[in-house]
Amino acid sequence: MSLHRRAIVDAEPPDIGFQAAFGFYLGLIAAGLVAVVGLLADVTTASLLATLPTTVTGVMIVGHVLAKRFHGLPELIGRRLRWRLACYLPAVGLVAVALAPGATPLAYTARYLAITVAMALLVGVTAFGLERLCRARFVEAITTDEPVVTWSYRPAGLLSRNGLWMVLTVFVVMAGVMSVVGGTLFGLLWLAYGVIVVAWTWSGTDDDSRGKSYYGKRYSLEMAPEPDEWGELRAHEYGVRLDLGRSRRFVPWERIEGIELTDDELVLKRRFRNLRCDRDAIDDPEAEAVLEALETARDAASRR
C-alpha cells in the first residue's frame, strides 16, 4: 500500500507552534492581497501601513483558531510534496504581481515594486518555515514505532560535504575578477566575499589529525562535518527517517530501489538522488548488520 494512502493513526490537535505559524502565514497572505488592492486603488502609503498590521493580526487569530480545530492538518500538508509546494503559491503570485507592470499598462513605480517585493519575500520566508514544520510533524507522526536499526549519518560525496560552497565561491571570485577587469569597482565586494568564505572554511580545527599547523594553529580544507554535527538514520516500518540538525526527512520503502554497501559508503538507491552515508560514520563491525537489517525491513514492507 502506498504511503500516501495510509492514515496517520491518532492524529493529535496541532501544537501551539503550528497554530501560530499557520495563523501568521494566512495573515501575511491576507495582508499581501490588501496591499495589492490598495496599490491598484492608489491608496496612500500611510493608509496602507496602518491597515496591513491590523489585517495580519485579525487573520492570524482566525487562522490560529482554524488550525487548532483541524486535527492532522500539519501532517496532511507534510505528507505530500505537492501540498508542501502549494505553500509557496501565494509568494509566487505576489512575485507575478510585482512583475505585472512590465507586461501590462499598470504604472511601474518605486512604491509598487517595494511593497509587492517585500510582501512576496515575507510570505515566501514564512511559507518555507511552515513547509519545513509540516514535514517534520509528518515524519514524527509516521515514525512512532520502534526503529528496526539506528546508525550515525555523515553525507558522502563532494556536494554533500559542502563542496558546493567551494564551487560557488570559485564562481563568485571569478565574477569579481571579471567585474574589476571590466572597470566595475563593485567586483571588489565579490572578491572580498569570496576571500571571507574561503578563510571561514579554512578555519582552525581542534582535530590534530587534519590540516597543517601554522604558528600553533591547525588549519584544514577538509569539508567533512565533525562527529557532533553528524545526523542519524533510522529504519522504521514504513521507511527510513533522516534526522540532520533540525531537519526531519522520511523516505518510504517503496521509493528505495536498492541498498548497497561499498568500501566507502552505504547507499540507499532512489530514482532521482541516492541517499549516501559515509561508511566511516558507521562502526565497521556494525555496517554489515545495518545492511542486513535494512534489507530485512525493506523485504517485509514489500510483502505488505
Whether residue 214 is predicted with pLDDT greater than 70 in this model: the reply is no
**What pLDDT does 299 receive?**
86
Q: Where, residue-wise, is CATH 2.30.29.30 in the chain?
A: 227-302
- Most confident by average pLDDT, 27-36, 37-46, 208-217, 229-238: 27-36
Mean pLDDT of 187-209: 59
Residue carrying C-alpha cell 490598495? 38
Q: Which pLDDT band, with edges at 50, 70 and 90, does 279 fall under?
A: confident
Question: What confidence score (pLDDT) does residue 282 get?
Answer: 76
Q: Say what the pLDDT of residue 72 is.
A: 86
Q: CB under 8 Å, gap of 24 or more: what pairs does 64-67 form?
A: 64/19, 64/20, 64/22, 64/23, 66/22, 67/14, 67/18, 67/19, 67/22, 67/23
Grid-cell match 579554512, residue found: 202
29 vs 55: CA distance, rounded Å: 10
CA gap 59, 204 in Å, rounded: 49
Q: What pLDDT digit, counting tens, does each position of 87-141 carry?
A: 999 999 999 988 887 666 566 788 888 889 999 999 999 999 999 999 999 998 8
Q: Mind giving me the DSSP string for 285-299? A: HHHHHHHHHHHHHHH
| Cβ–Cβ < 8 Å for 304, 1 | yes
Nearest C-alpha neighbor of 237 from the set 99, 143, 303: 143
Q: Is the pLDDT of residue 26 over 90?
A: yes
- Residue 128's pLDDT is 94
With a cut of 60, say whether residue 216 has pLDDT above it: no
| pLDDT at site 135 | 92
Contact yes or no for 200/221 (Cβ under 8 A): no
Element (H, E) at 149: strand 149-153
Percent of the chain residues past pLDDT 90, beyond the cut: 24
- Alpha-carbon distance of 275 to 283, in angstroms, equals 18
Task: Calculate the average pLDDT of the chain.
Answer: 79
Please, which pLDDT band fits residue 8 given cuts at 50, 70 and 90? low
Q: What is the pLDDT of residue 287?
A: 78
Q: Where are the alpha helices (DSSP H) in the chain?
A: 16-40, 45-69, 73-79, 81-86, 89-99, 110-142, 163-181, 187-201, 284-302
Q: What's CA 163's distance to the chain center, in Å?
A: 18
pLDDT recorded at residue 301 = 83
Three cell numbers at 55?
489585517
CB 224 within 8 A of CB 216: no
Q: What is the pLDDT of residues 222-276, one digit of tens each?
A: 445 555 557 888 999 889 998 887 788 898 988 988 888 888 888 888 888 888 8
Query: Residue 140 is placed in which grid cell?
Result: 514524527
d(CA 177, CA 190): 8
- The reported pLDDT for the residue numbered 288 is 81
DSSP state of 155: B
Answer left, alpha or beta for residue 157, where phi above 0 means left and psi between -120 and 50 means alpha: left
What is the distance between the alpha carbons of residues 242 and 249, in angstroms, rounded to a whole number? 5
For range 73-79, the mean pLDDT: 90
Q: Read off the pLDDT of each residue in 49-61 and give the average, rounded to a whole number.
A: 92
CATH of domain 227-302: 2.30.29.30
Q: 214-234 burial by CB neighbour count: b if 16+ within 10 A, else e?
A: eeeebbbeebbbeeeebbebb
To the nearest 10°, the Cα dihedral for 84, 300, 256, 266?
A: 120
Q: pTM (2 decimals)?
A: 0.71
Tell me the average pLDDT across 199-227.
48
pLDDT of residue 162: 53
Do residues 252 and 302 lie in contact, with contact meaning Cβ atoms separated by under 8 Å?
no
Tell me the pLDDT band of 210, cut-offs 50, 70 and 90: very low
192, three cell numbers: 572580498
